[in-house]
Amino acid sequence: MTGDADPDDPAAGLDGADLEEMAAAHTTAATEAARRRLTGLVRTNSQVHASPRPGVRVGHGQSISGRAVRRGDVIFRGMAAGSGGLVLVIMAAIAIFLVWKALPAITGPNNGNLLTTQAWNFPSDDPSDIPTWGIAALLFGTVVSALIAIVIGVPIAIGIALFIAHYAKRRLATLLGGVVDLLAAVPSLVFGMWGLYFLVPSTRGFQSWLSEYFGWLPFLHNRTATQASQFGQSLLIAGVVLAIMIIPTVSAVTREVFLQVPGETMDAAWALGATKWEMVRAAVLPFGRAGMISAAMLGLGRALGETIAVALVLNSGFTINTHITEQGGDTFASTIALKFGEAASNNLGIGALITAGLFLFGITLVVNSIARLVIARRKEFS
């Protein structure tokens, strides 16, 4: 020790060992106090967030009650679960109603076969008049017109989506995207009138040309028409109208999928010296394959259920017409719309229409379920 000791200094007269012992004790005490304060803070925060006590201040002068929080959580959970369950209840109610109303017609007297007969005759409610009906022509027309729509509409929609997402300038892409989305808002009645009064007359010559030069393909041969004026309201025209109607749906879905392509993937293609098309082919299209398939399935579901546009364009005949340029054809939806008025006084007729609705319900449900399964394969699109 050097110098004079200060009498007021508590460390006066202590050697080095004593000073080290005092410092260690002081450090230990400070550490223990800090630990106790930290533990208390953590416990307090845990109590506030996990199970708030009545009267605990949470900010801005507000207090929350544990009972109120628990009650609100239960109410919200119940509302959410009820909303989800309501969808299942509605679907089940529709299915039960359709089956219940269709059973009398399915099990009732019928001179035809439900799945193979190409007729729709319901004379009257007189028990002695046995109807003759089946859904064969309706099923065929529904599937064929929808497939034509998919074959024509999906490639066009994918091309539009690619152009908007990766080729068009920003302003042009915004404008085109808005126009395509606006097309989805056009009522189907407008499409039907356009198809009936413009598309049918203007494509008679084209249908005649198809039948003349590609008639060696069975589905394009017209066995009845001898001149262009005899072409018109055919499954081909119905499919074209449906194709135009599904373009907005398919294009909107695929456009969003193409915009989700990771930038790193496209940059890697650019770094390898790929051209624009090579980048799209190697990076964009493989990434969007699941999205394109699901969009096509959603468009197919729309085409299967379309009613008024097809009813206006097709010339009903209740026959399976494998030649798509010939006039005539029927679908489930158009038949229900056209025959409901005359079947209102016939119980079996109403039951037959509901049977057609049941089959249409099942087909669209299967198609949309397949679309959801395809989407679920890729979490990016779920």
DSSP notation for 117-166: ---EE---S-TTS--EE-SHHHHHHHHHHHHHHHHHHHHHHHHHHHIIII
pLDDT in tens, 111-167: 878 888 888 887 765 666 777 888 888 999 999 999 999 999 999 999 999 999 888
Co-location of 81 and 207 in the same domain: no
Domain endpoint, select from 76, 107, 138: 107
**Overall domain count for the chain:** 2
Residues 181 and 292 in one domain: yes
Distance CA 54, CA 62 (A): 11
- Note whether residue 54 is domain-resident: no
Do 239 and 323 sit in the same domain of this protein?
A: yes
pLDDT in tens, 196-228: 899 888 888 888 788 778 877 877 777 666 555
My answer on whether 96 and 219 are in the same domain is no
Is there a contact between 354 and 98 (Cβ–Cβ < 8 Å)? yes
Sequence-separated (6 or more) residues with CB below 8 Å from residue 149: 239, 240, 242, 243, 245, 246, 299, 300, 303
Whether residue 188 is contained in a domain is answered as yes
**347 in the same domain as 208:** yes
- Please state, in angstroms and rounded to a whole number, the distance separating the CA atoms of residues 115 and 23: 97
Which of 81, 107, 133 corresponds to the end of one domain?
Answer: 107
- Is residue 138 assigned to a domain? yes
Token pair listed for 267: 């940059």
- Write down which residue in 77, 107, 137 finishes a domain: 107
Tell me the pairing of strands 132-133 and 120-121. Answer: antiparallel
Q: Are residues 192 and 302 in the same domain?
A: yes
pTM equals 0.74
Residue 52 placed within a domain: no
CA–CA distance, 67 with 109 (Å, rounded to integer): 64
My answer on whether 92 and 195 are in the same domain is: no
Spatial separation of the C-alpha atoms in residues 160 and 280, rounded to whole Å? 14
The answer as to whether 41 is a domain residue is: no
Do 103 and 243 belong to one domain? no
In a shared domain, residues 323 and 264: yes
Question: Token pair for residue 69?
Answer: 């929080």
- Residue-level pLDDT, tens digit, the chain, 382 residues: 444 445 555 545 545 555 455 555 555 655 666 566 555 544 554 454 444 444 444 444 444 555 556 777 888 888 888 888 898 999 899 999 999 988 888 888 778 788 888 888 877 656 667 778 888 889 999 999 999 999 999 999 999 999 998 888 888 988 988 898 888 888 889 999 999 899 888 888 888 788 778 877 877 777 666 555 566 788 889 999 999 999 999 999 899 888 888 888 888 888 888 888 888 888 888 888 888 888 898 888 888 888 888 888 888 778 888 888 878 788 888 888 888 877 766 778 888 899 999 999 999 888 888 777 777 766 554 4
Q: Is residue 112 part of a domain?
A: no
Measured between alpha carbons, how far is residue 325 from residues 200, 201, 244, 333 in Å?
11, 13, 18, 21
Look at residue 288 and tell me if it is in a domain: yes
The closest alpha carbon to 150, from 292, 258, 303, belongs to 303
The answer to the question of residue 366 being in a domain is yes
Residue range of the domain that includes 354 = 120-381
CA atoms within 13 A of residue 341's CA, in its CB half-sphere: 3
CATH number of 209's domain:
1.10.3720.10
Q: Phi/psi class of residue 4: alpha, beta or left (left: φ > 0; alpha: ψ in -120 to 50)?
A: beta
Q: What is the pLDDT of residue 161?
A: 92
Same domain, 250 and 145: yes
Q: Do the beta carbons of residue 225 and residue 208 sit within 8 Å?
A: yes
Specify whether the CB–CB gap between 125 and 346 falls below 8 A: yes
Query: Are 172 and 271 found together in one domain?
Result: yes
Same domain, 80 and 181: no
Over the chain, what is the mean pLDDT?
Answer: 78
Which residues are paired to 120 by β-bridges?
A: 133
Residue 329 and residue 234 in contact, taking contact as beta carbons nearer than 8 Å: yes
Distance CA 354, CA 132 (A): 16
Residue type at position 364: T
